[in-house]
Amino acid sequence: MSELNIQLTRKQQEMLLRGLRYVRSSIALDAQNWSEQLEEERHQKYSEIAELESLLNGAKIVEAAAI
């Protein structure tokens, strides 16, 4: 994975994190017949979301976002 440095306002960070919570919920509520493979894929997606959340929580917060 390549490294990306981003600067966000607190509002932008909160919006992205809220979106990730929505995505996590949609994965959890996705009604499919249970299988071991499906459960493995779901856990992989949760791990990817957690990694992204960690990156966003560590992002540099600025007063005004650079465009």
How does pLDDT run across 4-38, given as a tens digit for each residue?
777 889 999 999 999 999 999 999 998 888 899 99
What is the reported pTM?
0.78
Name which residue leads in pLDDT, 1 or 2. Answer: 2
In the chain, what's the furthest Cα-to-Cα distance?
47
Report how far residue 66's alpha carbon sits from residue 45's, in angstroms, rounded to the nearest whole number.
Answer: 30
